[in-house]
Amino acid sequence: MPSMRRPQISLQRFRLVVWVAFGSLYAIVVTGSLVRLTGSGLGCSDWPNCNSTKFVDISTGHAAIEQINRLFTGVVAASVILAVSSSILLSPRSRRITTNAALLVVGVLVQVVLGAYVVITGLNPWSNMAHFLVSIVLVSAAFVLVKRVELLIEPREIREIRDKPLRWVLIVVTSAVVFLGTVVTGAGPHSGSEEATRLAISVKRATQMHSISVWIMVFVAVVLTIRARRNVAQWNAEGPLMMRLVAALSAQGFIGYVQYFAGVPALLVAVHVALSIIVWLCAFSVFLPASTLLVLD
């Protein structure tokens, strides 16, 4: 009796699955920020139930917003589980691809635990900051997975990577920018609830520290761009990445200053959060050639 043939999935279809996982991970960061910005952080005061009497409660606007964000976590979980299961069906299989996808599942589980801790601690700013920073790591892991799949579909010739130390400086400074951005949030007015505590630092001081780190990042990005322009081969390969980073930084800087002088309105903060992930990914794209993250063998 002939043996059953193992089901397979094409790289093109798997790339679509991976993009869905990446998109859902990005979206939940934005929806999570909207929970806080609408003051709905304690719309559900318990975990996993919404409150002491109901598992699902949409009787108030705040409860409904928090509940929708929690339910969307199920969509995220399904998308990353699908990515792992699909990676096993690839032919030929790649151990790094499967491991990368499995890390997304682990990360989502960590986020579920952190989300519960955020509620239990009454929106403690440190737990909120950790929640966002883990989200950045998750989005980055999904981004690497996308890039790995694209390399499998369209292999590229190995070329010499220039300015590796400067790329490392860029990613370190960008990490500081993201962290200090969460400090501004932890000290600012949008805590998610009037009952939430804030960091023991003034918004002005936190914003100044964040702004200084951003200007350092801009300087490093401009230096990298100028150096890339001097090499035709490098510019042809990486020019678009450099220009996207500079454009994202310019847009984010403009929004940042406008929101600060406008009194930090919630809508602009939401845009700033959404753009912060784009800025991070643009910097991460420039950094990737200096790392071994895209090695598949």
Q: By the 8 A CB rule, do 138 and 111 touch? A: yes
- The yes-or-no verdict on residue 48 having pLDDT over 90 is no
Of the chain, the percentage scoring pLDDT greater than 90 comes to 44
Instruction: Give the whole-angstrom CA distance, residue 140 versus residue 127.
Output: 20
Residues whose CB falls within 8 Å of the CB of residue 238, separated by 6 or more in sequence, listed in order:
228, 286, 289
Taking only the tens place, the pLDDT of each residue in 166-177 is 999 999 999 999
Hey, what's the torsion of the CAs at 194, 199, 200, 202, to 10 degrees? -90
Percentage of the residues of the chain whose pLDDT score is greater than 70: 90
3-state secondary structure (DSSP) of residue 224: helix
Taking CA atoms, 247 is separated from 2, 110, 260, in Å, by 58, 33, 20
Amino acid at 172: V
Digit-coded pLDDT (tens) for 122-132: 778 888 888 89
* Mean pLDDT value of segment 67-80: 86
What span, in angstroms and rounded, lies between the C-alpha atoms of 178 and 126? 14
Give the mean pLDDT of 85-111.
89
Band (1; pLDDT cuts 50, 70, 90) = very low
What CA–CA distances, in Å, run from 187 to 26, 87, 106, 197, 206?
A: 24, 42, 30, 9, 7
- Is the model's pLDDT at 110 over the cut of 50? yes
Give the pLDDT mean for 4-8: 67
Exposed/middle/buried for residue 23 (C-beta within 10 Å: 0-12, 13-18, 19+)? middle
Distance (Å, whole) CA 69 – CA 41: 10
Best CA proximity match to 29, nearest among 174, 113, 132, 144? 132
What pLDDT was estimated at residue 57? 65
H-state helical runs in 89-124? 95-120
